[in-house]
Structure 1
Amino acid sequence: MYLHLKKLFPETENLDILKHQQVTKLDLLNALNFLVDEIKTSKKEEQPKKWLKSSEVKSLLRISPGTLQNLRINGTLTYTKIGGIIFYSYEEILKVMEQNKVKATSNE
């Protein structure tokens, strides 16, 4: 939180000075706008992981462990196994989702 205060008030090296100052509505609006911008920026910078563990894939696709195992067994999802841990490529999951897209049919 103090890092945000330093960005809002860069001229203030000693944060104790801020304790004795009144906060105006304009100060609150500026702080709120700053925090909203920080959140937007951090969301844009988030990149998905290249490799996901089974638990992450189950959560992402909202599927059961059995369904994930079936996707592995029938070759729908490729995977890499290192020791006892199974990893899935995020890009591969996106490709499979695109390849299995079903177009809506018209009910006329």
Structure 2
Amino acid sequence: MAGTIITLEDLQNFKQELLTDLEKILSQRQTTPARKWLKSHEVRRLLTLSPGTLQTLRINGTLPFTKIGGVIFYDYDDIQKMIESNKSNRDFPSRKNNPWRNV
């Protein structure tokens, strides 16, 4: 049986590849939930909303939902669309009023 010699450099390369793969997996996990459909308590935790605010988003049609039995489900893609559609640039100075424009 032939043996393979593993050097310290081989171990360091393996460690770096492993850390890179783990970072990639963790970053994907943080941006995308494990499931497509989320329950109300999951959406409240994700968006840091009160139950009343979430109910208001449902009532005024801002956030679509599906109710099955007594459980309300929200599509993760709909949550993303709602956030994107409500994005605003009002906190950023306009380019012509920006003193750092020419820097």
Q: TM-score, normalised by structure 1?
A: 0.61
Residues 64 and 83 (structure 1), Cα distance of their counterparts in 2 relative to 1, 3 Å cut: same
Structure 1 residue runs of 5 or longer lacking an equivalent are 1-10, 12-24
In the alignment, the residues of structure 2 paired with residue 45 and residue 103 of structure 1 have an alpha-carbon distance, to the nearest angstrom, of 26
CA offset digits 1:3-36 (Å, max 9, x no partner):
xxxxxxxx8xxxxxxxxxxxxx768746743541
Q: Report matched runs for 1:16-31 at 5 Å.
A: 29=12
In the alignment, the residues of structure 2 paired with residue 81 and residue 67 of structure 1 have an alpha-carbon distance, to the nearest angstrom, of 18
What value does the CA root-mean-square deviation take over the aligned residues?
3.1
Counterpart of 2:69 (choices 71, 83, 98) is 83
The amino acid across from 1:96 in the alignment is: M
In the alignment, the residues of structure 2 paired with residue 42 and residue 96 of structure 1 have an alpha-carbon distance, to the nearest angstrom, of 26
Identical-residue share of aligned pairs (%): 48
In the alignment, the residues of structure 2 paired with residue 33 and residue 74 of structure 1 have an alpha-carbon distance, to the nearest angstrom, of 50
Deviation at 1:85, TM superposition (A): 1.1
Compare the two structures and name the one with the higher helix fraction.
Answer: 1
Aligned residues: 88
In the alignment, the residues of structure 2 paired with residue 37 and residue 59 of structure 1 have an alpha-carbon distance, to the nearest angstrom, of 29
Q: TM-score, normalised by structure 2?
A: 0.64
Structure 2 residue runs of 5 or longer lacking an equivalent are 98-103
Where 2:43 maps in the other structure, the secondary structure is helix
